[in-house]
Structure 1
Amino acid sequence: MSIYSKIVGTGSYLPSNRVTNDELAQQLAKKGIETSDEWIVTRSGISARHYAAPGQLSSDLAVEASKGALEMAGLQASDIDLIILATSTPDHLGGFPSTACVVQRKLGITNGAPAMDVQAVCSGFVYAMSVADSFIKSGAHKKVLVIGTEVFSRILNFEDRTTCVLFGDGAGAVVMAASEEPGVLATKLHADGSHGHILCVPGSVDNGAISGNAYLYMDGPAVFKLAVSVLDKVAREALVAANLDAAEIDWLIPHQANIRIMQGTAKKLGLPLEKMVVTVGEHGNTSAASIPLALDLAVRDGRVKPGHTVMMEGVGGGFTWGAVLARM
């Protein structure tokens, strides 16, 4: 009998500090940086984002999202036998201990379940789901907690209006479990390190101090051009692997980076915009958290129902991209 992996619970969490474009514009004006709600919305579709409170870490957001996913799945934290966490903003410098291990401790999981971080920036959650799918199908694990969590506000240069207005903080999580019924139908992952320079944090740690620029850098036009191209291709690869047509997709849940990229992807796939879950307007770009945040919202408001086929895809620094096609 074949073993499949299936999403059995979703959860999400947004910090309480919601910042509108007008509020952000007022803050930036004090630094002599000019922007406006119209300028931001026209270029990105973003109207607001959430920022973590001082001292609030990626693990704190992840724990809250995980609790929601566990509750929906009807599981206790101790039932989890693997944690995979995607983040570009780990709790600790150098990424260790891993934020996944910190979450394990904060959830009170003491069963020795392995826990690890995955770093693929905005594609991180798709990468993490693909890894979880492989572990479950191999029979190695049965109940996996997959998390995307970010506090991108900590790496933004608030004197660069081309980037600081785009990103926000948040976390999303899913519980994936072994199932006799098909859940994840196909996954496809890619990377091309030759494009790493167009979206990165170029600084490094040298002798205990930051060397170089520790803020996020993005070549917006280059990222836009590459993103639309690879998202279309990887979605089609996943469809071919699952022997499905684009018309059979019930919901497209792309990485929530820019409404124009998202609309361009839907158009290339021949999908009506009504079939795309959009949260970028309220969340901004939450990197690895954006897809699970959007998925949880759509599950809880009743749009995504059991039996629906969902295409999740992301693209991020590295350069990385990937897709997961799943039946809910």
Structure 2
Amino acid sequence: MYSRITGTGSYLPQKVLTNHDLERMVDTSHDWIVSRTGIEERHIAADDESTSDLALHASRRAIEAAGIDPQQIDLIIVGTTTPDRMFPSTACLLQDKLGIKSGGPAFDIQAVCSGFVYALSTADQFIRGGQSKCALVVGAETMSRIVDWTDRNTCVLFGDGAGAVILQASETEGIISTHLHADGGYKDLLAVEGGGCGVNRAGTPHMVMDGTAVFKFAVGVLDSIVEETLSANGMQKSDIDWLVPHQANVRIIQATAKKLGLPMERVVLTVNAHGNTSAASIPLALDTAVREGKIKRGETILMEGVGGGFTWGSVLLRW
């Protein structure tokens, strides 16, 4: 038994924050942001929008695309680092908002920017193991709530959004393999030090990042995850039709594409339109490419991402 994506959906909040808007907030410029990151604008959740609301919009679109009844969904996994509440999980809140009464499990996964890859891998295991037949897998974030809007090194990078997929049991191969890793030794390079239930709850509730170190780490582990994924499946770089990467920084994406020998025309690139939306960025990019008709059935797709923790991973699938 395989698991196969049968529908995709995404959602971006209506409010747009451009680079020119940021020029009036911090010491930066449109040209500097674009040259270093490729980002031109990002979307910001409204005051009355929570992560579960963004997830709801994306989920409804994925459900519609898959042509299923929401009551068929027997598993919900939400990748997020910006949950509505400490508990219940955002997945439980989403289950309620969708009116799903199947009683199937619903839970969150916190792997920051790798969250969707982790969530999709977990759902794949549920389906392969026979515990689920129809899963809703979501990446959703309101990163604007943990950004320090006076820190020009981080506030230019992040935005809000959600992406979702329906993953169903199938006799036809869909997800080929997934590969997940973490190394907590790099915990201080990208973190929110305050909040939580630890002894340092009084620390900053905003994100802090060593940008140069994060860039070097990301390029290195994404190189290795590409090699691992191809080797595990006896595949060559030329077997990959599309790269759907975490949308963090265009320079990191270009480095990964070069490693694969893929022209940028075969890379799904959406970071310019929404910035780094953490766990939401891969499903956002995937939905964009599917709805634009770029990705065709039968093509081979590599998804990969790296996030604070550090966590990193990949999903190889046949569309």
For residues 114-129 of structure 1, the aligned pairs below 5 Å read 114-129=105-120
| In structure 1, distance between residues paired with 2:202 and 2:226 | 38
AA aligned opposite 2:80: T
Q: Report which of the two has the higher share of helix.
A: 1
Equivalent of residue 306 in structure 1, options 287, 297, 312: 297
Q: Aligned partners of 1:241 and 1:268: how far apart in 2?
A: 17
1:23 aligns with 2:21: yes
2:183 to 192, 212, 216: 192
Distance in 2 (alpha carbons) for counterparts of 1:205 and 1:260: 33
Q: 1:206 to 1:99 in 2, by over 3 A?
A: closer
* Counterpart in the other structure of 1:294: 285
Identity across the alignment (%):
58
Please state how far the C-alpha of 1:181 moved relative to its aligned partner.
0.6
Q: Secondary structure at the match of 2:188?
A: helix
CA distance in 2, matches of 1:252, 1:237: 15
Deviation at 1:204, TM superposition (A): 2.5
Q: 1:241 to 1:205 in 2, by over 3 A?
A: closer
Query: Do 1:231 and 1:314's aligned partners in 2 also have CA atoms closer than 8 Å?
Result: yes
Residue identity matched to 1:254: P
Residue of structure 2 in register with 1:71 after alignment: 64
What stretches of structure 2 of length at least 5 have no aligned partner? none
**1:87 maps to which residue?**
80
Partner residue of 1:276? Answer: 267
1:131 to 122, 125, 142: 122
Measure how far apart 1:242 and its partner are.
2.2
Q: Distance in 1 between matches of 2:15 and 2:95?
A: 26
Amino acid at match of 1:102: L
Residue 24 of structure 1 deviates from its aligned partner by 2.1
Shift of 1:206: 6.0
Match of 1:271, SS state, is: coil
CA–CA distance in 1 between the matches of 2:210 and 2:74?
A: 40
Output one character per residue of 1:36-73: Cα deviation in whole Å (capped at 9) or x when no partner.
10111111110000000002000000000001111111
TM score, norm. by length of structure 2: 0.98
- Of 172, 194, 206, 1:203 maps to 194
Q: Aligned partner of 1:18: which letter?
A: V
Distance 2:23 2:99 in 1: 41
SS class of match (2:187): helix
Moved more, 237-246 or 67-76: 237-246
Aligned-CA RMSD value: 1.3
Give the counterpart of 1:9 among 7, 10, 25: 7
TM-score by length of 1: 0.95
* Aligned residue in 2 for 1:322: 313
Aligned equivalents of 1:164 and 1:253: distance in 2?
A: 24
Q: Is the 8 A contact 1:82 1:143 kept in 2?
A: yes
Matched, 1:217 2:208: yes
Q: Distance in 1 between matches of 2:227 and 2:128?
A: 23
What letter is aligned with 1:270?
G
**What count of residue pairs does the alignment treat as equivalent?**
319
Match of 2:132 among 138, 141, 161: 141
> In the aligned structure 2, how far is the partner of 1:204 from the partner of 1:282?
30
- Cα drift, residue 210 of structure 1: 4.8
Matches of 2:226 and 2:197 in 1, distance apart? 40
Distance 1:218 1:162 in 2: 8
**Counterpart-to-counterpart distance in 1, 2:250 and 2:42:** 14
Q: Which amino acid aligns with 2:202?
A: S
2:54 paired with 1:56: no
Equivalent AA in structure 2 for residue 7 of structure 1: I
SS in 2 for 1:159: coil
1:99 equivalent in structure 2: 90
CA contact (8 A) 1:205 1:211 kept: no
Q: Which residue of 1 aligns with 2:29?
A: 36
SS class of match (1:292)? helix
